[in-house]
């Protein structure tokens, strides 16, 4: 992971006058990314080459460095009533109840969920037609596909391929975050924080979507970030992570850098979406799914690097 912080730099891609700026990458690093884009996609126009280069640069700029550490992953229990000394489980799900010690090295997690605009460009370069193309043509439904809303997905494979693609063009190790990395960040480096908001609570309309907007996705980053500077870890779109799912994995998990079982019943998803009851979208709640058979606005993702 590239940790140096440099003053903002500008790089003019090709002969275009539109500058590519970066707060974390040098001019030479931006030029190297552009060279890799040109080598991989020699048929692209100057404009499209710049768009891909900008996408990769922005993906790296948006990575939030997280110092590793040790925490107890899983259910940490909460007061049964406000002010009570008695502790209760925070949800009805049992597969997260086995709290277990996990140690992570330093890594970085994207401050934003991947957007429709970013995912569309990636899929276009793979020769894919826009998903829900007929729906996109309806004027009354175009708001669903606003460029800064979370990308729609149907399975784990495409989000995983997107993150790897970013890594290949950046020459970095980029992937979906592991479940442990996701939870460590959502809990502000493993603290007993139930909701990944700016204050650990859900306040509808201020740090979480209002009850009137729950059927829709928001532009990424609309509400305040958590204390690490990461947005939408509770709510907006639920997020695919790297790990295969196993109901019993928490009991079998290695303590250092766990990456999930070798196989499982689909892949883990974390964070919960707006459509779900806000109180259930906790930092410890875990779901899983396979190919859902259609592109859904409720299933998104973000990338990580180390």
Please report, in tens digits, the pLDDT of each residue of the chain (306 residues total). 444 444 344 454 444 447 898 999 999 999 999 999 999 999 999 999 999 999 999 999 999 999 999 999 999 988 888 888 888 888 877 888 899 999 999 999 999 999 999 999 999 999 999 999 999 999 999 999 999 999 999 999 999 999 999 999 999 999 999 999 999 999 999 999 999 999 999 999 999 999 888 889 999 999 999 999 999 999 999 999 999 999 999 999 999 999 999 999 899 999 999 999 899 999 999 999 999 999 999 999 999 998
Q: CA-CA distance, 149 to 114, in Å (whole number)?
A: 8
3-state DSSP assignment of residue 107: strand
166 & 137 share domain: yes
Task: List the domain range (segments joined by +) for residue 22.
Answer: 1-48
54 in any annotated domain? no
Residues 6+ apart with CB under 8 A from 28: none
Tokens found for residue 227: 């204390």
User: Which residues, including other chains, have CB under 8 Å from residue 205's CB and lie 6 or more apart?
Assistant: none
The answer on 289 and 156 residing in a single domain is: yes
| Domain assignment of residue 208, yes or no | yes
Instruction: Assign residue 141 the CATH number of its domain.
Output: 3.90.1580.10
Q: Evaluate whether residue 53 is within a structural domain.
A: no
Cβ-proximal residues to 180 (8 Å cutoff; 6+ apart), any chain? 73, 102, 104, 257, 258
Cβ–Cβ under 8 Å, residues 144 and 152: no
Residue 286's SS3 state is: strand
Q: What is the pTM of this model?
A: 0.92
d(CA 138, CA 217): 18
Same-domain status, 194 and 275 = yes
In a domain? residue 55: no
Tell me if 247 is assigned to some domain.
yes
Are residues 285 and 182 part of one domain?
yes
Q: Are residues 274 and 237 in the same domain?
A: yes
- Report the domain count for the chain: 2
DSSP secondary structure letters along 20-59? EEESSS-HHHHHHHHHHHHHH-TTS-HHHHHHHHHHHHHH
The answer to whether residues 107 and 162 belong to one domain is yes
């Amino acid at each position: 992971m590239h940790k140096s912080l440099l003053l903002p730099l500008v790089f003019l891609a090709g002969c275009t006058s539109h500058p590519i700026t970066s707060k974390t990458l040098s001019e030479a690093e931006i030029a190297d990314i552009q060279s890799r884009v040109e080598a991989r996609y020699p048929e692209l126009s100057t404009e499209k080459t710049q768009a891909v280069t900008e996408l990769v640069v922005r993906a790296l700029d948006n990575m939030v460095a997280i110092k590793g550490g040790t925490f107890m992953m899983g259910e940490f229990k909460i007061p049964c009533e406000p002010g009570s000394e008695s502790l209760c489980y925070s949800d009805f799900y049992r597969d997260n109840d086995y709290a277990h010690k996990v140690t992570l090295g330093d890594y970085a997690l994207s401050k934003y969920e991947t957007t429709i605009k970013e995912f569309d460009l990636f899929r276009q370069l793979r020769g894919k037609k826009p998903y829900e193309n007929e729906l996109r043509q309806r004027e009354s439904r175009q708001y669903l596909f606003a460029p800064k809303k979370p990308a729609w997905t149907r399975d784990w494979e495409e989000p995983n391929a997107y993150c790897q693609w970013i890594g290949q063009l950046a020459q970095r190790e980029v992937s979906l975050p592991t479940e442990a990395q996701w939870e460590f960040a959502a809990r502000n480096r493993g603290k007993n924080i139930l909701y990944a908001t700016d204050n650990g609570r859900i306040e509808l309309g201020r740090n979480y979507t209002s009850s009137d907007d729950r059927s829709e996705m928001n532009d990424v980053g609309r509400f305040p970030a958590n204390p690490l500077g990461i947005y939408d870890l509770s709510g907006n779109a639920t997020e695919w992570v790297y790990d295969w799912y196993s109901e019993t994995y928490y009991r079998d998990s290695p303590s250092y850098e766990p990456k999930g079982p070798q196989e499982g019943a689909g892949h883990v998803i974390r964070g919960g979406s707006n459509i779900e009851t806000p109180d259930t979208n906790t930092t410890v709640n875990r779901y899983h799914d396979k190919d859902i058979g259609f592109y859904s606005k409720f299933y998104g993702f973000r990338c990580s690097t180390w």
